[in-house]
Chain A
Amino acid sequence: MTEISLVDVSLRDGNQSLWGATGLRTAHIATIAPLLGRVGFRALDYSSSTAMGVSVRTHREDPWALLRLVRRAAPDTLLQFIGTGFRFISWERAHPEVIALVYTTLVRNGMDRFVVLDPTHDMDAARATAAIAKKAGAREVIGALTYTISAVHDDVFYAGIAAAYAACGDIDRAYIKDPAGILTPERARTLIPAVQAALRGKPLELHSHASLGLSPLSYLAAAALGVSVLQVGCGALGNGTSLPSAEELVANLRASGHTVDVDDRLLALVTGYFDRLAAAEGLPAGEHRGFDAAFMDHQLAGGVMSTTRRQLAELGLSDRFGALMAEIALVRAELGYPIMVTPFPQMVIGQALANLLIAGVPGGARYDRVPDQVIRYVLGTFGKPTAPVEPWVLDRVLSRPRAAELAGEPEPLDVAALRGRFGARISDEELLLRFGMPAAEVDAMIAAGPAVTRYNPDTMPVLRLLRALGERPPARELTVEKPGFRLSLRGPG
């Protein structure tokens, strides 16, 4: 039987998978952070380029201030940052010097656990990022084994990656990252031992989304195989397209004879908070999902799925969801099975959407329009594709004049050049935001001032009522009545 620790992903992956990364603001996070820090989680999956960008763009809140706030509130818990090691907030490739500055600045602001995630499993890139993180002062670096189903991604393939992680001094542990939730218990029973053997004693964690209802069972299989760290979401931020619910998993693990050292009272408080927050803000709570065989083809992670649905709705194409999913599966195969992890889902979906739209135009053909990201991918900007790109697709993409332009793109700016552009006197934190985001958005964030840091979901209905009343024409009398309760307010005169 195994002694299990949990890593909670509510704040980052939960928010991204279920609430489009925009659900949680500083006040929401700052209020619950002290409790999250005391539950006994081994780490919190806490931030990413995307999360930091949303903080600025959507909430007008300083993401660095939020990092510091949570670090102070949860001094005993590792705080994880997940990044690809080649970009920061913007989708453009960043200079290695800039990436190094990103990591040192993240460490200075309290991040201490870093995921090394190369979407093409390019080991040279992974080792380079791990070295940067360690040099910056990371306490723990964890290498991702991004799980997918394809002709090339078999157990031997993953064991090879695990062996490379085992051999790398800057990588402390590894995790199987299953963003689409397609790891079955059966596959877990062959994959996990193969990976564990190759890791040669370095610990292994499991991160499998609950999108298909498979992961609660895969987690039990993993625990039985000695995987001692499982990644979960809490309350409304667990289940659905997020990770398995912490409280259900704890009960199932204990029922299976494993031990889980978390403070159950605090876990219940955290769970209740996210449930009440979801209800107060009108955000969907993660629910148990049934199995859907089509998922095994398109393999879209939870966050990508919710974003895609929203984008289709905005285009008035909600009825084409099925067609888009089929096109996504096709494009992914043609592009050499990129793993559906950032930035590739956005790229594949962008191409699939372009193909879908052009199909309605007379004389239009697939790959008539090709987003820059696809051209960069085919050019090898993000590393070498895992399997070769279909030759006819390769030709269609590289024969475009835009491909020549992008191939000749200038080298990204180094830190000195960025300082030259944005100012020598601004902090590293501000410099990096200005590097990654449009100036107007950073200016608006600064103008908004410090973020509110307290939130009480229970007061939201009353505040909403008061706000709505304030917008109505003046009324002289207000009465709230329910069984056993009557509140009546009367204006003067």
Chain B
Amino acid sequence: MSGARLLRRVLVANRGEIAVRVIGTCRRLGIETVLTVSDADAGSLPARLADRVIRVGPAPAAASYLSVDAIAGAAVAAGADAVHPGYGFLSENARLARACAAAGVVFIGPDARTLEAAGDKLAAREHAIAAGLPVLPGGPVPSGGMEADEAAVAALADRIGYPVLVKAAGGGGGRGLRVVREPAGLRQAVGVASAEAGAAFGDPRVYLERYVERGRHIEVQLLGDGERVIHLGDRDCSVQRRYQKLIEEAPAPGLDDDLRERLHAAAVALGVHLRYRGAGTVEFLVDTARAEFYFLEINARIQVEHPVTEAITGLDIVAEQLAIAEGRPLRLAQGDVTFAGHAIECRINAEDPGRDFRPSPGTITRAVFPAASPPALAAGGGDGVRVDTHVQAGSTVPPYYDSLLAKVIARGGDRTGALAVLGGALGRCAIDGVTTNLAMQRGVIADAGFQAGGVTTGYLARWLTAAGGDGSRT
């Protein structure tokens, strides 16, 4: 009737909690799932939940989860109608999107052109400017780096004003990033950042941007069908350690209504400019004192922290991704999206805050999480707890991948309520066998600074210093 192409079998090209998450929605919708696993994940929880499993290579991600040929080949071999790439790995990889298109398989995400525009930070910045979004003062370092034209780079940094941030054009996640506080450090920072970026993303290009010391990281969730774009509100992800988010919440606390509306409108404007199709997130750096904001980047995939948005909207973002991938127009108008309550998510990672957050792989001997109360979350009313995880007692945490074990999401009628629910929920979590950041997370959410709301991205580093490095002494 709607010209949609019904998805009957989806290849889930990811691992961990997001694989469990995607499989859950597919199962609810009656869509068969085929999961790609590396040798290290053959016995994992998502592998047991999926209808079928395909091994795509050895444990190192480069040979399995990051292999475009292996993933596209698995999609064809499995007879999958579509590939859901989750987040990370190949989720924003234009080559995979093209390989899928060539094989007649739907890539659940934006088209290759948009992925390229979003994945290249410099290109994204140009699009943001074209869409009328404010960006931080900055510009590209000429290819060849400082050696090519040292004077030009130094002049660019001077024009921006110190401190400046050196950023990789081709990737994210904190790699290829350097803060430079004075001209003397510029040459080395550009060199290191470029080398790091080259190693991590195969793209040594870097650019300079003004470094804002006291900003908040606020992002806006978008849904688009290529014609129409709507937003699902904002999230505050300012509790970060070296650009890795640890706590996220929705809506961003203490934001002036006008500023919030401008953020939403800016994100939608960029989505419209890109004729965005799928779920995506526009990230902003927000200077709340001056009520100003700057475009940071656009993530063309589902985010780790999407559950806080789901908790206050009652929507299933993965289901919306699947509907868009089936070629349907958006099922919601902006007016259909309503917000109720407040939600906060804590990431529980297998890492040791006492040893500079060193990853802690191993075998989990005990994993206790609070019972979920999904009806409250789904219906958009009342208190609720949701736990998205892929670990149980007996699960192994391989050393090859990121250390996320679980996301504990709490929802309350307001932020105070959500904090109370979260405190109770974290109190009922117990994970043995690997070291986790659970104690640190309990400490942060009990901290008066966090409880007041609206912390900046420098908050966690200061808190860790005050708490004695790992937060365990709070």
Contacts and interface: CB of A to CB of B under 8 A. Distances in A.
Interface of A: 31, 34-35, 38, 72, 75-76, 78, 263, 265-266, 269, 449-454
Given A72-B331, A265-B32, 7 more contacts: A34-B29, A34-B30, A35-B30, A76-B1, A76-B6, A266-B30, A449-B381
Contacts of B29: 34-35, 38
B328 interface: yes
Given A38-B6, A75-B4, A76-B1, A269 B378 contact: no
Contacts of A38: 6, 8, 29-31
Contacts of A452: 375, 378-379
B254 interface: no
B109 interface: no
B30 A269 contact: yes
Contacts of A35: 29-30
B4 A450 contact: no
B104 interface: no
A154 B87 CA distance: 66
B380 interface: yes
Interface in B331-347: 331
A31 B316 CA distance: 13
A376 B11 CA distance: 62
B2 A454 contact: no
B374 interface: yes
A75 B2 contact: yes
15 contacts: A31-B28, A34-B29, A35-B30, A38-B6, A75-B2, A75-B328, A75-B331, A76-B6, A452-B375, A452-B379, A453-B378, A453-B379, A454-B374, A454-B375, A454-B378
B380 A263 contact: no
Contacts of A449: 381
B212 to A, nearest CB: 41
B23 to A, nearest CB: 15
B413 to A, nearest CB: 13
A450 B379 contact: yes
A75 B30 CA distance: 15
A427 to B, nearest CB: 14
Contacts of A450: 379-381
Interface string B297-331: 00000000000000000000000000100001001
Interface residues of B, number: 19
Contacts of A72: 331
Contacts of B380: 450
A34 B316 CA distance: 13
Contacts of B8: 38, 263
B44 to A, nearest CB: 23
Interface of B: 1-2, 4, 6, 8, 28-32, 323, 328, 331, 374-375, 378-381
A452 B28 CA distance: 16
Contacts of A265: 32
A341 B358 CA distance: 73
A490 B32 CA distance: 40
Contacts of A454: 374-375, 378
Nearest to A68: B336
A76 B378 contact: no
Nearest first, the 5 closest Cβ-Cβ pairs linking A and B are A35-B30, A34-B29, A452-B375, A450-B379, A266-B30
Given A75-B331, A450-B379, A34 B28 contact: yes
A452 B30 CA distance: 20
B314 to A, nearest CB: 9
Contacts of A453: 375, 378-379
A266 B7 CA distance: 12
Nearest to A76: B1
Contacts of B378: 452-454
A60 B167 CA distance: 56
A76 B30 contact: no
Nearest to A449: B381
B375 A76 contact: no
B369 to A, nearest CB: 17
A454 to B, nearest CB: 6
Contacts of B328: 75
B4 A76 contact: yes
A155 B145 CA distance: 90
A454 B32 CA distance: 20
A266 B6 CA distance: 13
A325 B123 CA distance: 79
A77 to B, nearest CB: 8
Contacts of A76: 1-2, 4, 6
